[in-house]
Structure 1
């Protein structure tokens, strides 16, 4: 019987996961499954650092440009659809690559999630009003009180994620994070976990350079085009929310760009907090592709 292996490539934003995942997929003649929630949306391009057109032509990718920003989509939807794609691909291959910085979406593939309870519409609406009137800081403070564990891992600048977690916590009376620690579900593959990391100063330099490059490539124009959808959950993320604030005359462009850089650095720090808890991850620098390949070959031999 064929033994299947899922290469799980993780790491903070801007560390270089896209290029390394493509190199791994090329070497093993396989395909890439994206677990980056922001790259699902076909309207969000520059600000999500999607693989470029020529990169998508080199290797087949799944779950990139598969949704519109008007679609409702949950991590449970992703778990179901991703597992179906993985099962289909394993009919012809025994090694696949999954990559992304969305720890929750990676966890859904590898372990599954508990059934998250329905939330009260009144609770969710109350939290949206709180965000509108008091800002994201009020949501952050509330989450720290209700669920300090999730507070340490979540992107604190994503109001959609904060409202979702708080809605579940308040409606159920249990921390949102308690629903993410379910008994691991059986999977038909062995995960091989690879982490990419850089010295903090080098990663932060990459983040700043990438932000400047995004601006030069037309991120502001992309956000202007999407401004009519500014209240969509998919646009309440780093890179889009700050420029929306600028376009609504709440800050200068320079201030918006500085906020993007700072919030991206904060997000990268939280991503590493999440991934460093997993002792099964083997860590490499992004330029150690030969060592990464050797490690995968050794584990899958």
Structure 2
């Protein structure tokens, strides 16, 4: 098989939909390895709140970019693109097919199509926005982004201050929307792509999210977050699952309030993930229960791609 006929099977979709289980089934069927494109599972200090694959799951297929970095590392989507493409090159030396799985749309797109070079804002503007984050809180910055770039606001992880501030930097320094700079031109990749999306009935998904949060609490999420309390200022920890528990530990919310907010924020996050991936017309959508149909579809695509 020529290098161009190497195939990346990308599995995307909202949180709690069952991407990890499917990726493992597909990787085992095609005897290959998995690249994680979940921007929160890179960090070795965060496990319960990121729904990281457990040791039994990790043992079933070789995973890359799980526990690969520390929350103290500065690891951007641009860094991920470079490292993931290099990793794919190595995997393709021994495998014709590789699996990538994740719900972080920006990171998935970076591998599939390349990451756009965005205009650089001044240090002064960044400092000003970070100061506003401290004094005004994230809600006012969210509202400003919603006014300046409603398209990006509808799909970004609005609980991630780094993403909000980066988008505002571009909007305020150029007078154009952040979304207008993205994916101007796709990079040429030396592999073909099969893009699988998982989705299901919204109420069923929300029920799965609520159950997953309850399980995280039972598995020790509060203790995991408490151990990270000294680092709550780091960008990696300003995310759903950690922000809410920090507010409980900081005595702003009761535990039950934090859990309810965590469920609500995760449901909202899932809705944004679906919005993001639905914009990609190349995704073929399946129910998470349709494992055999997905494998049959991939087999059929492999036949037509490699002819």
Q: Where in structure 1 do 4 or more consecutive aligned residues deviate above 6 Å?
A: none
Corresponding position of 1:222: 224
Does 1:133 pair with 2:112? Answer: no
Moved more, 129-138 or 69-78: 129-138
Map of 1:17-166 to 2, 5 A cutoff? Answer: 17-166=19-168
Q: Which residue of 2 aligns with 1:265?
A: 267
Given the alignment, which residue of 181, 187, 190 partners 1:188?
190
213, 230, 233: which one aligns with 1:231: 233
Shift of 1:145: 2.2
SS at match of 2:40: helix
1:208 maps to 210
Contact conserved, 2:28 with 2:61, CA < 8 A, in 1?
Answer: yes
Cα deviation, 1:115-162, whole Å, max 9, x if unaligned, reads 123222221121122222222211111111222211111011222211
1:250 aligns with 2:249: no
Distance 2:152 2:183 in 1: 11
Q: Is the 8 A contact 1:112 1:182 kept in 2?
A: no
- Give the Cα–Cα distance (whole angstroms) in 2 for the partners of residues 136 and 35 of structure 1: 25
* Residues 57-88 of structure 1, C-alpha deviations (whole Å, 9 max, x = no match): 11100111111000101111011110011111
**Greater CA deviation, 7-16 or 158-167?**
158-167
The aligned residue for residue 277 of structure 2 is 275
CA contact (8 A) 1:169 1:175 kept: yes
Work out whether residues 242 and 256 of structure 1, in 8 Å CA contact, stay in contact via their aligned partners in 2: yes
CA–CA distance in structure 2, aligned partners of residues 91 and 177 of structure 1: 36
- Are 2:38 and 2:107, in contact at CA under 8 Å, matched by a contact in 1? yes
Structure 2 Cα separation of the partners of residues 83 and 126 of structure 1: 35
Quick one: distance in 2 between partners of 1:67 and 1:118? 25
Let me know the Cα RMSD of the aligned residues: 1.0
Query: Which range moved further: 12-21 or 135-144?
Result: 135-144
Q: How far apart in 2 are the matches of 1:170 and 1:72?
A: 24
- Residue in 2 aligned with 1:293? 295
Instruction: Look up the SS of the partner of 1:98 in the other structure.
Output: strand
Normalising by structure 1, report the TM-score.
Answer: 0.98
Give deviations 1:165-210, integer Å, cap 9, x for gaps: 1123223333222232221111011110111111111100000000
Secondary structure at the aligned position of 1:96 is classed as strand
Written as runs of structure 1 = structure 2, the 5 A alignment for 1:7-22 is 7-22=9-24
List alignment gaps of at least 5 residues for structure 1.
none
